[in-house]
Structure 1
């Protein structure tokens, strides 16, 4: 059985400053583009049976610079819709909501462009992605290019854990790889945050 490679998009100005970039299509920085290019040699030797990406430009551009071909945009790989917290840092949110924790407290509704999404909704999207990917793994490796919080939810759902367990994973750094595999029918993380 193949591995599921989880690739976080390269650095953006918002990831650099800690701002929540859900559906806002923030471009890669020069450093983010360089990191994405640096993934190419690591991915070149792996025959992939399928590649899926968030349709946002930062993810699609990362896939392109990493040398991935045949990339299929998948709206279920969009980052968490942060609603009224879009563009804010955790510190800014906690200034008006002391003790706030994304995994426990979720987000507040935003405007029409950012209505907001709760953890169970993000998990339902990642479950749908995994349902489509699992059969493909019989034929080899599959790659997804996505976002930090989404990647954490996807990973814990791969492990069969409650979505709230996502808080237990370190945030994947921009432009890094994670590898999800199975052994004796049991899912596990074979590597995480690989530069």
Structure 2
């Protein structure tokens, strides 16, 4: 890729519907106010399928075409969220119960990204651990030790139907949905991005 300053920073993810995103945003806001961890507020609630990568505008246009075709072949599925988990000592997240549909989707997506969209092997995400982050990076170890026992004992239950995948673009300050790609049989984009 040419000049990185002119390339877009992109990420591919699954996003819950707007009401659930707002519920999760409230948890991220709580992490900011109570534990000083605001970094997770820079993105909407999501499950990452492809970690951030750079693409020029022409590469992005090609990627969009490949993602449109890919998404139209994919069936929707349900994601169940239950409770909290952590990657000590900095990350607290909402736990996803059944990883298999997401891992399968990721594997099929990775094949498209490598074989058709032309992403480099080292750019693509090899393995994923599906989760929805509420605190990361700027959560200090001290704050983690205070927050984690509380969140470990706290309940959280939700589910949502995955009807599309999203291409997000970094604005320089935060991640913003750039494009929604509806799955087979899904209505036109309507996830209220």
Normalised TM-score (structure 1): 0.26
Name whichever structure is richer in strand by fraction: 2
Name whichever structure is richer in helix by fraction: 1
Normalised TM-score (structure 2): 0.26
Q: Which has the larger radius of gyration?
A: 2
